[in-house]
Amino acid sequence: MAKHKFKTEVSQLLNLIIHSLYSHKEIFLRELISNASDALDKLKYRTLTDDEFKQMKFDPRIEIFFDEDGQKTLTIKDNGIGMNSDDLDEQLGTIARSGTKNFLNQLTGDSKQDANLIGQFGVGFYSVFMVADKVEVLTRRAGEDTAWLWTSTGEENYTIKEAERPESGTTVTLHLNDEGTEYANRWQIEQLVKKYSDHIAFPIFLEYDQKSYEGEGEEKQEKYEHKREQVNKASALWKRPKSEITEDEYYEFYKTISHDNEDPLHYLHTKAEGTLQYTTLFFIPQKAPFDMYQADYEAGVKLYVSRVFITDDSKELMPTYLRFVRGIIDSDDLPLNVSREILQQNKIMNQIRSSSVKKLLSEFKQLSENNPEKYGKFIEQYNRPLKEGLYSDFTNRETLMELVRFKSTEAEGFTSLAEYKERMNEDQKAIYYITGEKEQTLRNSPLLEAYKKKGIEVLIMDDDIDEIVVPSIGTYQETELKSVNRSGSAEELKTEGDEAKEKELEPLLKKIKDILGDRVKDVVSSNRLSDSPSCIVADENDPTMQMQQMLKAMGQQDIPEMKPILEVNPDHSIVKRLQNSDDKDLLEDVSYLLLEQAMLVEGAELKTPADFVKRLNRILEKAV
Ligand code: ADP
């Protein structure tokens, strides 16, 4: 018998599960039945596609029995694909889910918050340790002769030894602890299966001994009769007519396929009956899946062909930006033995995918129109992936532009581009936006001063993806989007007399430019400032300063250093006085200060802060 240690994450997680998910301990049954159903799905697929298994007599079923009086055990048995000892090590000895470490780092130690997170993460098999102090898994992989017995008390270790099992499949036996004894009970089980697993597509049988009495008085004798009854409907939920499915049934189905403990935010069930016949059932989780921003995120959509499960890890079923969608695609037109390579190029699959995407996006659109509150929740979680879509899905760009939301100087919360357009001044020429890291810095940016004064709304883009996505949009409904951080955007702020001022300022601008040398690309007169003496912008086609910082943070090494354009406010008193002064030292200090203070407000780092402070103090000395 081999003794194994759990991977550290498992031990850590086991502890957490037991302590935080405690009030939902009954979900262990849903998790076990869902695993059994997955195992049956996998074997069924093999019997239909794999010559080695085609002869097999396959009568898929899940059986549940319990020992109420003696040992207090509960057993869940399936005749599915089963596991060999390597599988046991990989699947039950580690948490196979990607990003487990990341997830653990997010935990706070506050049991309420953590329970929420764990719900999102989905604990799967390990939830059994909430109700059992010892768990045995007797399993044999289909096509192999040796069976294995995995045993663990949910502490540090588990053991694996050879065993016997007449057919392939898995039997999980829970030795119930004090908290779990209530589950060795016929009524409890029946009720839980109905609640959590009614929609499971394979029959679930409950076996028990029914007690009755025979004879009278002294002669009276206990008699046990073995009973076996099917507890669930055993029909694929998504194939049933919509009108016959309750919201609760949809929700439970979602929880089974997603391992989420919360109800979904939204679902969408459609049947296509044109040239292609297929059914889709999609769910939007209340909270974005925790691994959404990891490269190795888990795909959320399962593919079935005529109710036969094909795969649940194909990232081809949905475009990457919709990776948060959970659910099912069931097609009658695909061949059963579609391989992953075929899926990628399959015409039918491509059609199903593109119309599913359209369906989903138009559902989101409707939600935004008919249920703003729900849409608000949706945007809180999924605005960013939608923006990714803007960048990657050209076909649906128009719709996506209607779906994304931005912060703004005029509207509270989030606003759409359409709403912005409606609020635009009659003669306003462009949709303006400012990009950067921090919302507060952006809202206070001197770059906004003149826009504010003229009552021009500016969209506040503090999501790092905005830098990349928004410039790629170009125009929305024939109106150009212009970055306030760039030189060309202030055209429309020009007023009469600006040109005369510019002329007048030219000699000073030239002096400043000579002093600053290659620190700046240019020094120009500004028409976007009112209270601040100066600001910096990027040249029309250069990456903005924020973009440069972001590229650096992403590990890009050789970004050419882009010099800013320094804009000087001709109306500011500092600038005016400087025009009339012939103090050379003062001019030099002030020139640098004009540049460096503008950089600071934009959240840039100064290369030599000590020089900045020295200059500042020299000026203060003169002033005090
Ligand atoms: P998940 O089901 O999300 O993968 P679990 O922790 O519930 O996470 O299960 C881990 C893995 O153990 C499963 O992915 C599967 O490979 C294996 N497993 C669990 N139960 C069974 C079973 N009854 N039959 C075959 N494999 C199983």
Averaging pLDDT over each range in 84-98, 115-129, 189-203, 414-428, which range is the top one? 414-428
Residue 301 has pLDDT above 80, yes or no: yes
Binned at pLDDT 50, 70 and 90, residue 481 comes out as very high
Mutate to test the pocket of ligand 1, among 9, 13, 31, 35 (most ligand atoms within 8 A of CB): 35
Interval between CA 39 and ligand 1 midpoint (Å): 8
Percent of the chain with pLDDT over 70: 91
pLDDT in tens, 589-608: 999 999 999 999 888 888 88
Mutate to test the pocket of ligand 1, among 13, 31, 125 (most ligand atoms within 8 A of CB): 125
Q: Tell how many helices (H) and how many strands (E) occur in the chain.
A: 21, 22
Strand partners, 483: 433
Asked if 567 and 526 count as a contact pair (C-beta separation under 8 A), the reply is: yes
Binned at pLDDT 50, 70 and 90, residue 612 comes out as very high
Higher pLDDT, 235 or 381: 381
- Quick one: DSSP state of residue 510? H
Q: Which fold has domain 238-370?
A: Ribosomal Protein S5; domain 2 (3.30.230)
Which residue do the tokens 């001019």 mark? 587
Averaging pLDDT over each range in 1-5, 46-50, 496-500, which range is the top one? 46-50
Quick one: pLDDT at residue 554? 63
Averaging pLDDT over each range in 331-335, 349-353, 470-474, which range is the top one? 349-353
3-class state of residue 37 by DSSP = helix
The structural domains of the chain, with segments of one domain joined by +, span 2-211+225-234, 238-370, 406-492, 494-623
Residue 104 has pLDDT above 90, yes or no: no
3-class state of residue 240 by DSSP = coil
Nearest residue (CA) to ligand 1, atom 17: 91
Strands 479-483 and 430-435: parallel
Interval between CA 342 and ligand 1 midpoint (Å): 26
Ligand 1 atom index nearest CA of 124: 7
Percent of the chain with pLDDT over 90: 53
Ligand 1 atom index nearest CA of 80: 24
Q: Please state, as a whole number, how many other Cβ atoms lie within 10 Å of the Cβ of residue 133.
A: 15
3-class state of residue 72 by DSSP = coil
Binned at pLDDT 50, 70 and 90, residue 312 comes out as confident
Higher pLDDT, 172 or 336: 172
Residue 289: name the closest of 315, 326, 339, 316 by CA: 326
Q: Which residues line ligand 1 (CB under 6 A)?
A: 31, 35-36, 39, 78, 80-83, 91-92, 96, 124-125, 170, 259
Residue 545 has pLDDT above 80, yes or no: no
Which residue do the tokens 């016929």 mark? 186
Interval between CA 88 and ligand 1 midpoint (Å): 9
Can 2-211+225-234 and 494-623 be said to share one CATH topology?
Answer: no
Higher pLDDT, 5 or 429: 429
3-class state of residue 501 by DSSP = helix
Binned at pLDDT 50, 70 and 90, residue 95 comes out as low
Q: Which fold has domain 2-211+225-234?
A: Heat Shock Protein 90 (3.30.565)
pLDDT in tens, 338-394: 766 677 778 889 999 999 999 999 999 999 999 999 999 999 999 999 999 998 899
Interval between CA 83 and ligand 1 midpoint (Å): 9
Quick one: pLDDT at residue 366? 97
| Mean pLDDT to the nearest integer, 134-161 | 93
| Mean pLDDT to the nearest integer, 303-307 | 87
Binned at pLDDT 50, 70 and 90, residue 112 comes out as low
Interval between CA 199 and ligand 1 midpoint (Å): 19
Ligand 1 atom index nearest CA of 78: 23
Interval between CA 87 and ligand 1 midpoint (Å): 9
SS (H, E, C) 86-132: HHHHHHHCCCCCCCHHHHHHHCCCCHHHHHHHHHHHCCHHHHHHHCE
| Mean pLDDT to the nearest integer, 474-486 | 90
3-class state of residue 35 by DSSP = helix
Nearest residue (CA) to ligand 1, atom 18: 35
Quick one: pLDDT at residue 217? 81
pTM beyond 0.85: no
Averaging pLDDT over each range in 153-162, 167-176, 476-485, 518-527, which range is the top one? 167-176
| Mean pLDDT to the nearest integer, 479-496 | 82
Ligand 1 atom index nearest CA of 42: 25
| Mean pLDDT to the nearest integer, 307-336 | 89
**How many C-alpha atoms does 552 have within 13 Å on its Cβ side?**
12
Spell out where 141-290 has E strands: 147-152, 157-163, 169-176, 204-214, 221-230, 266-273, 277-284
Edge-first strand listing for the sheet containing 522-525:
522-525, 565-568, 534-537
Domain 406-492 has CATH 1.20.210.10: no
Residue 98 has pLDDT above 60, yes or no: no
Nearest residue (CA) to ligand 1, atom 10: 91
186-197 and 247-258 helices, crossing angle to 10°: 90
Binned at pLDDT 50, 70 and 90, residue 38 comes out as very high
Quick one: pLDDT at residue 96? 46
Interval between CA 91 and ligand 1 midpoint (Å): 6
Q: Which fold has domain 494-623?
A: Four Helix Bundle (Hemerythrin (Met), subunit A) (1.20.120)
- Residue 336, burial from CB neighbour count under 10 angstroms (0-12, 13-18, 19+): exposed
pLDDT in tens, 50-73: 899 988 889 999 999 999 888 899
Computed over every residue of the chain, the mean pLDDT equals 88
Binned at pLDDT 50, 70 and 90, residue 555 comes out as low
Residue 17 has pLDDT above 90, yes or no: no
Interval between CA 74 and ligand 1 midpoint (Å): 18
SS (H, E, C) 453-489: HCCCCEEEECCCCHHHHHHHHCEECCEEEEECCEHHH
pLDDT in tens, 157-191: 889 999 999 999 999 999 999 989 999 999 999 99
Nearest residue (CA) to ligand 1, atom 27: 35
